Amino acid sequence: MDLATLWFGLIVFFWSSYFVLEGFDFGVGVLARVLGRTESERGTLLSTIGPFWDGNEVWLVVAGGATFAAFPGWYASLTSAYYLPLVVILVALILRGVALEFRGKHDDRTWRRRCDLGIAVGSALPPLAWGIALAGAAHGLPLDARGVLVGGLGELLRPYAVLGGLALLAMCLLHGAVFLRLRTTGALRDRAGRAVVATAMPAIVLGGGFLAWTGVREGPAEWLVLIAGAGLLAGVLVRRDGWAFLATTVAVGLTVVAVFASAFPALMPSTLGHDLTIMNAASPAYGMRILTWAGALFVPAVLAYQGWSYWVFRKRVVG
């Protein structure tokens, strides 16, 4: 296997890890405002992601940095084409992070309600915008020979891309509801169970529709689509919390993998015939070798740290 193909696979792993881990964070951030009837209950629901959410965002840094280092042409075209959605994502993540950090710093009901609203909005916008960006980029954009987008905002909001954004948001809500059912007790767990039922239909309809559309496109994504769809259904139907969370994890992760795989070996197909591929967008071989050594040193450290943190904070949160 050449280094360009290896790093494409690793970058897909990094992006799927980000959406799996941040996916339930996003879902909890939206659902906490709905399921928590008091400030104390909302605080308890948000405490389920307290030890994890900022560590989960490390995968965004890893994925973005690896994309820039391994495929600078891909990174440049993606960030220039989706400049506005990326700004929305960054502002939303800043709003969410500030609200999570400062919610408990001021003992005022109005302040906490505003923070809860900021957390909800900051958790809903990123999966929607990321889904639109990644699905649209994999589906194809009018890129010229320089990798520059020809056209306006309408080119970014094609039906497949919009469905991808809505599907990822719906799946994150289901993923978050299953996580809350896994991590809470008593009345909050009962409400989380009802949230699983409430979020199931949008996730199945939007996620299933997006997976079906992805599966009929050219590319080696058919089996990934089938397994992701099975995971989506299992997450709804399985009653054991741990297995249900594993199922939604598989569904979210393989949906992201299927999007990337559907365009392989292209990174960003061009409707004008100027595709960015893993070969013409890759860094020189020397840079790839340095990146590989760096990845061999640091990626296992990130995995070990995150595994340790999830093990330490594995118990249910009691309100």
Domain boundaries, the chain: 3-289
pLDDT at 223: 62
SS3 226: helix
Average pLDDT over every residue of 59-69: 89
SS3 156: helix
Average pLDDT over every residue of 46-51: 86
Contacts of 88 by beta carbon, 8 Å cutoff, 6+ apart: 125, 129
Q: What pTM, to 2 d.p., does this model score?
A: 0.89
pLDDT range class, residue 125, cuts 50, 70, 90:
very high
Contacts of 168 by beta carbon, 8 Å cutoff, 6+ apart: 19, 23, 127, 128, 130, 131, 252, 255
- Checking if the pLDDT of 319 tops 70, the result is no
Q: Which listed CATH number (3.30.70, 1.10.10, 1.20.1630, 2.60.40) goes with 3-289? A: 1.20.1630
